[in-house]
Structure 1
Amino acid sequence: MESEKGTVSVILVEETLGLARRGGLDAIPLLEAAGVSPAVLESPRSRITSDQYGALWNSIAIALDDEFFGQDTHPMRSGSFVAMTRAALTAQTGGRALARSVAFMRLVLDDLHVQISAKDNSVRLEFVHPEQNQAPTMFAYATYFLLVYGLVCWLVGKRISVLRACFRCPEPAAVGEYKLLFCEALTFGQDATYVDLTSDFVDLPVVQTNRSVNVFLRDAPGNFIVKYRNPDSLAARVRQFLRENPIRNWPTSSALARQFHLSEATMRRRLRREGQTYLSIKDQLRRDFAIGALQGSDRPIGAIAQELGFAEPSAFYRAFQKWTGLRPSDYRSVKHNQIK
């Protein structure tokens, strides 16, 4: 199912474009190169595919010649991530790969670096920056984390669990997207910024080789934003289960609870603590599938609506406008306008 790739909020897209504009770039050609129409950004509820966001991320980094998007006084020149990947590739374990990646970033950036420490059964990444400087934004922290964390996850061949994350910056508008990237346990306005990881990756062997690195570097690091989203919550497990089954076979709430060996009330309560319901998860998956299908195929809108389980196209139109603030035809016209 195309929805496995996920989508990204335009709020996060606007943060990315804001850095491009600050660097003197025109956002329109960047959006067009990534296959995104400016019209899609008009609704704050709208979203783009993860492939589009990855292409946008990489094109901005190349245009700025800065893979850290101007968020440090020293630019992270194009090619830095490739060099960091090859340096970490020769590490024997996940812990050593993390240490090499952080050391490399320390050489590249002037203002922001990370100190690694062991804490109980976790590994803490504490962000450090000059006290006289304004605290970095959430996007700066996330950019650093994506580069290092995504690389180490790939090297050991698994998604490393994030236990908690605290930030000095205020809560961002796209907090929901950052929870998907880090974990549910996010706090803001704190005295320190750190991310705690489970320590089970430290002794894992690096499984990647020189043969696999070229394919990895083709899409990295822009693809990290979705690929290494947090899978540990119940909501993530529910999403994964639904993605593996056709929409017509999605179970009722009670049947799903039995699948996870929970009572229906317990499942509802746990999902509620994570800010979700079974209905909201199903809607999010339908939304992502619809966006991918509209932007990636010529199938009639009625056929897409039927695949999503809507008895009538009109019901799909109403649902899509509720999800994104736009009509399905707006997304379809984006694709066709760019082909012309």
Structure 2
Amino acid sequence: MECSKQKQVEVAPELVMAALKAAKTAGVDVDELLRPYNQSWGQLKAGQGLAGSSYAKLLRGLWRALDDESSGYAIRPLRVGSFRMLCHACIHCHNLRRVLLRAMAFFSLLSEQYQWRLVEQGEEAKLQLRMSGATGIDDAFFHLSLAVILHRWSAWMVDSPILLSRVSFAFPESEFGHLIPNMLQAPVEFNAPETELVIPIQYLQQPIKQTPESLTPFLANSPEQLLTLYRSDDSVSAQVKQFLEQQPELEEVNQDAVAQYFNVSVATLGRRLKREGHHFLQLKDKVRRGRAIRLLLHTQDPISGIAEQLGYSEPSVFYRNFKKWVGCTPAEFREQNQ
């Protein structure tokens, strides 16, 4: 049970084509961009993906060709160097809350298209994005890119994986929609009013571990770093969370059973979770909360029945816990998300 920070990835053809879609629509010869990687648009359509390192180089070539780090999706181009300046603007922040607020302010200066908000409610922090205006191109990939970059960049800034509670996207499930839950390791909703990443609120207090000195090699190796660094599915916390999600009787699973499954001692498991900023009961509570949200959104079960399915002997305890988690009652949450 090891947590590796670096891992080679294969990028699915659907994502590669989505990255090139806006440029292709604008008349860019994407086959010329793909040629150095022994790839073509026809091969992508036939189902042949691209190595992560080649995909990163392709993106850099695309951005240089367009002078636009949005890959042609933004109304006003994100000139090459925009992400670099964002990093420099945030590297001296003290904690993740300040980083996110400064990043949102930075985007608002670039264009009125980006309307970011940080909402703190109950035990959750919600990073919300609305984009105004339209380019006439399906911008699902752009929404996804901003979400992935913000998530992985934030994890790099605090030098620890960040486990998402859930994610919503302001677009219908696309040709690459089936890939997203695995990319983000979180429950995903489509057709939402806005794109939203939800994290436990305690992450906002995590101190920034990176420095101007560590930023230099990070930028020199971007966007490769954001394809491979701090993938949450490599972390011990994510492995434990995934194991808990597979247990039908969650209340009966204790830390001893999890340690035995991963063939480590309880003390070792606790130390590894603590190193990543988590503890066992916190992860168990996260899984319970995720199940509650799925049942509220995707079933018509009465709330008392949902409480019973989650192991609560008294619905009132479930009501109190749920309001503490998300800042509203189960009934209010269901009504707001109909």
TM-score normalised over the length of structure 1: 0.63
Answer yes or no: is the 8 Å Cα contact 1:113–1:129 preserved in 2: yes
Deviation string 1:4-55 (CA, Å, 9 cap, x unpaired) is: 312110111111111221233211221134x2422642422x3222111111
Is the alpha carbon distance of 1:21 and 1:135 closer, same or farther for their aligned partners in structure 2, counting shifts above 3 Å?
closer
Whole-Å Cα distance in 1 between the matches of residues 68 and 97 of structure 2? 27
Whole-Å Cα distance in 2 between the matches of residues 70 and 224 of structure 1? 19
Whole-Å Cα distance in 1 between the matches of residues 22 and 38 of structure 2? 17
Give SS of 2:205's match.
coil
Answer yes or no: is the 8 Å Cα contact 2:22–2:137 preserved in 1: no
Residue correspondence of structure 1 range 183-332 to structure 2 within 5 A: 183-231=185-233, 237=239, 259-260=261-262
**Percentage identity across paired residues of the two chains:** 23
Deviates more, 1:200-209 or 1:143-152: 143-152
Whole-Å Cα distance in 1 between the matches of residues 121 and 234 of structure 2? 20
Cross-structure match for 1:4: 7
Higher relative contact order (CA 8 A, sep 6+): 1
Q: Which amino acid aligns with 1:151?
A: W
Whole-Å Cα distance in 2 between the matches of residues 82 and 58 of structure 1? 13
> Are residue 111 (structure 1) and residue 127 (structure 2) matched?
no
Answer yes or no: is the 8 Å Cα contact 1:92–1:206 preserved in 2: yes
Answer yes or no: is the 8 Å Cα contact 1:23–1:64 preserved in 2: no
Residue correspondence of structure 1 range 165-184 to structure 2 within 5 A: 165-184=167-186
Deviates more, 1:59-68 or 1:132-141: 132-141
Give SS of 1:125's match.
strand
- The unaligned stretches of length 5 or more in structure 2 are 243-257, 264-286, 288-338
Cross-structure match for 2:163: 161
Answer yes or no: is the 8 Å Cα contact 1:114–1:126 preserved in 2: yes
Whole-Å Cα distance in 1 between the matches of residues 137 and 170 of structure 2? 7
Answer yes or no: is the 8 Å Cα contact 2:125–2:198 preserved in 1: yes
Cross-structure match for 2:16: 13
Whole-Å Cα distance in 2 between the matches of residues 65 and 133 of structure 1? 17
Answer yes or no: is the 8 Å Cα contact 1:180–1:230 preserved in 2: no
Is the alpha carbon distance of 1:124 and 1:260 closer, same or farther for their aligned partners in structure 2, counting shifts above 3 Å?
same
Cross-structure match for 1:27: 30
Answer yes or no: is the 8 Å Cα contact 1:146–1:221 preserved in 2: no
Q: Which amino acid aligns with 1:117?
A: V
Deviation string 1:116-162 (CA, Å, 9 cap, x unpaired) is: 11122221011123388889632111122233333222111112111
Q: Which amino acid aligns with 1:72?
A: A
Answer yes or no: is the 8 Å Cα contact 1:121–1:199 preserved in 2: yes
Q: 1:64: Cα distance to partner?
A: 0.7
Give SS of 1:99's match.
helix
Give SS of 2:94's match.
coil
Whole-Å Cα distance in 2 between the matches of residues 145 and 211 of structure 1? 26
Answer yes or no: is the 8 Å Cα contact 1:62–1:78 preserved in 2: yes
Q: Which amino acid aligns with 2:44?
A: L
Cross-structure match for 2:78: 76
Whole-Å Cα distance in 2 between the matches of residues 119 and 181 of structure 1? 25
Whole-Å Cα distance in 1 between the matches of residues 35 and 238 of structure 2? 32
CA-atom RMSD, angstroms? 3.4
Corresponding residue pairs, total: 246
Cross-structure match for 1:150: 152
Whole-Å Cα distance in 2 between the matches of residues 49 and 77 of structure 1? 26
